[in-house]
Chain A
């Protein structure tokens, strides 16, 4: 039984100071999340890893109050489902990323948010799957 990340190359470590890994186009400098093989703005295929700030501001949000269709959703279903927030967090002047938010309550556009790694479910081999989310800074 181990802690494993939900995907490789998504965050820099599994510790409290982990950062999300974006991609930056070496030609036009646009930042994407996650990193992708080519630039969505210019024709460049030269994208480099770009660790993102851990703090940002909430740009848009809603709540998810019903369990998403499964597949592809792998989280808790039925009575175990707990509503969550979803939003875009603006990370400095880099990028706005879509993320789950640790709570569905008290969300406001412009509030300060910080990255957290959260245990999400146990896979078929008994590993604890770790994903990312943002939480309001109070």
Chain B
């Protein structure tokens, strides 16, 4: 699937594989995603394999952009691919610097963390379960309009609320699923982009941040009493500063919706609203494709699953289509000019990218 994504990206850019001077490839399951070059052509280019938790794909893009900025190359590729087994991710907790008993007792689980985080957030900021169901229903409706989505069947809010409770208040249909996916992005020097397209999309900023002491993070057997904001907030602020714009300038938004609660929390963590405002924004349809803050217009993780290595490049793909006006039935109206993407997950890492025409 990685090779399929690369061929589509090459065709879109009007370049050949032999023109590509370097690559970065992200994956969790594949030890050596560089294997994809054997399917494309063994041209001898530097090709670097990357795994950086749930921010893998954001890191791949940031590294590829930096390679161009350093002046070493003019044209390269960022690609991500993964294929996960069904069910919650699992690993030896010691690989995450957690004690063995933490896993033996059934605490080394990401869905449980997301349940705790949104349950506390709802308690503190007055968000309700029907809002979570509305977010899922929206993302599945958007996914139904996306031919590449993994889940394309809309669900009623009652079905979402009534599905099996997994980690209170999150039901089965409020979570995304691990699946198979790939995405690829061609990057080039900004001053040469017009050679390949008459409507280039510029990467204005990318930022990756890890958790600071006091952030409420996944896989934490303990937390200090002192509290601070999560890595998404830090990455978001850094990216906006680099881009020289603010949340009010963004026209289309892709957020990490590992579960419906994550989308709700991330809307505030990325500066698009105040804590608690999501209840009304969702009820008023402001996160819909035609709303004031269109979020996860391709269905997000809830409709596309989370192939970790590809997920953030899938967000970039969607933003590029939206900014070019090529998103078809799910096109955000009003000629969007600025797009925003955010990744977050284990082990407490976030990646943000800002793109514009």
Contact = CB atoms under 8 A, between A and B. Distances in A.
Contacts of B222: 22, 32-34, 95-98
Contacts of B107: 86, 98, 100
A65 B167 contact: yes
B165 interface: yes
A10 B106 CA distance: 17
A93 B225 contact: yes
B115 A62 contact: yes
B238 interface: no
Nearest to B167: A62
Interface in A58-91: 59-69, 71-75, 84, 86-88, 90
Interface in B17-35: none
B223 A62 contact: no
A22 to B, nearest CB: 8
Given A6-B105, A98-B222, A63 B99 contact: no
Contacts of B104: 6, 72-75
A34 B106 contact: no
B103 to A, nearest CB: 3
A98 B220 contact: yes
Nearest to A133: B105
Contact of B223 (A34, A61, A84, A95): A95
Interface in B65-108: 87-93, 99-108
B93 A62 contact: no
A102 interface: no
Contacts of A73: 103-106, 108
Interface stretch (B117-125, B132-140, B189-197, B283-291): B117-125
A119 interface: no
B90 A69 contact: yes
B244 interface: no
B221 interface: yes
Contacts of B164: 65-66
Contacts of B221: 33-34, 97-98
B101 A68 contact: no
B223 A72 contact: no
Nearest to B97: A36
A90 to B, nearest CB: 7
B108 A72 contact: yes
Contacts of A68: 88, 90, 106, 108-109
A74 B168 CA distance: 22
Contacts of B213: 40-41
A57 to B, nearest CB: 12
7 contacts: A7-B100, A30-B224, A62-B167, A64-B167, A68-B90, A95-B224, A98-B221
Interface of B: 87-93, 99-109, 112, 115-117, 119-120, 123, 164-170, 213, 216, 220-225
